[in-house]
Structure 1
Amino acid sequence: MVSPERAIFDAEELINQAIWRGTYDQDFKSELTLCSEAKIILEGLSNLDPILEKHRRRALSQCLLRIDHAYVGLGDHEWTIDRATEALTLAETSGSAVQIARALLSLGNGFLHAGDIVNAERQWVRLLLLAEEYTKDREMQNVVGLTLIVRGHVLNGKGLYDQAARVLEDAYATLVDVGDYFGCASACDLLSEVYLKLDAPDKAETYKSKAEECKTRIRNQPNPYDP
């Protein structure tokens, strides 16, 4: 009989593997399969002590967000807001500020895709206010950096290129500090595009080169899940 502690650990290992598959390999079907397995494990646990129950809820929240990431990667946005809302509720009852932030980012993205920019911004503002209390937390700052990229996309789409550049510069600096080269590459790609629109080709080329450097780092990272 597997202990609840071991079951949660096993589920988190599946989620971590799914994150790699979905983020680095862009293998969304594998991400969905792995997270579906983790979800079954986590939802099968009951009557836990309060500390373990919070741990389970935090893991299940992250599991739902990665399931949604996989569906979105496969082109299916239909239930994003519902999944993110459920993930946020679980995160709030888990007591994990970082998980709350992740869920708010996902929920904001869901509203954005649905064309509801007001509600999207509401989630991101709440996230950034929460993050002000966790300036030294690398995981929280990672979420902040990714949120700034999305806001940069929105500003770019509105034609507010100067504002977009400032926000994306902040995103890049934040993500460099926490070592998220995947996020850095995204920020640099968008910065290159924005600076071209601002008629600053030198800066555009600089960020294009930085994006390629980040992508090289990503390619050179050993895959911990290779057989």
Structure 2
Amino acid sequence: MTVRIGVITFPGSLDDRDAQRAIRVAGAEPVALWHGEHDLKGVDGLVLPGGFSYGDYLRAGAIAALAPIMAEVKDAAAQGMPILGICNGFQMLVEAHLLPGGLIRNAHQQFICRDQRLRVENTSTAWTSHFTEGQEIVIPLKNGDGGYIADDETRARIEGEGLVAFRYVGVNPNGSVDDIAGLTNERGNVVGLMPHPEHAVEPGFGPDTAVAMRSGVDGLSFFTSAVASLVGAAA
């Protein structure tokens, strides 16, 4: 089975090609999709990539959440398709109400770029099955509007239903409540996070590790998890 995962490009997307590359490295076929169309081209999964869609006007991800193709994204999510939102893509998923809460300007009001430690909190999603619960990973982070917020009722539901997928470890880089770095929906097919796993899939290009500079590939497991879940579902 050839797994085909679409990557949607919006005006201002920056990391769509990186996401396509990560999909290819994980053994799947990337499919370029355009925000202004209503055609998912028969893909098996979707990635909403990072960037600054529509210049982050209004709120980051708010305009992109109303793009024509998002109607198909919502339908696909309801049908159980694996969907990953990375950084700006996470913001889109929240603005489209596919994930709870909201994202605001970083607490220190500055753009941040760093290799960030995360703890994996949920391994039952389509994008995290190749991790172990409690595993600490290092993923590049780069954002200006990454502060996760939610009201008390939503926070209680997120925690009670195990919807936190990742938490920041060591330092909370943007003031997110409860150190939340990423979420999943109840079904486990939709995952969003602020760090960029597509930037940690190949030796020589990822974060530094104790083994060697730029050798970190913790991000690859996001994409291999999705491929495995789709192959398993088709078997």
TM-score bin (small chain)? 0.3 to 0.5
**TM-score (ref. length: structure 2):** 0.31
User: Which structure carries more strand by proportion?
Assistant: 2
Q: Quick check: which has more Rg, 1 or 2?
A: 1
The higher-RCO structure (CA 8 Å, 6+ apart) is 2
**TM-score (ref. length: structure 1):** 0.32
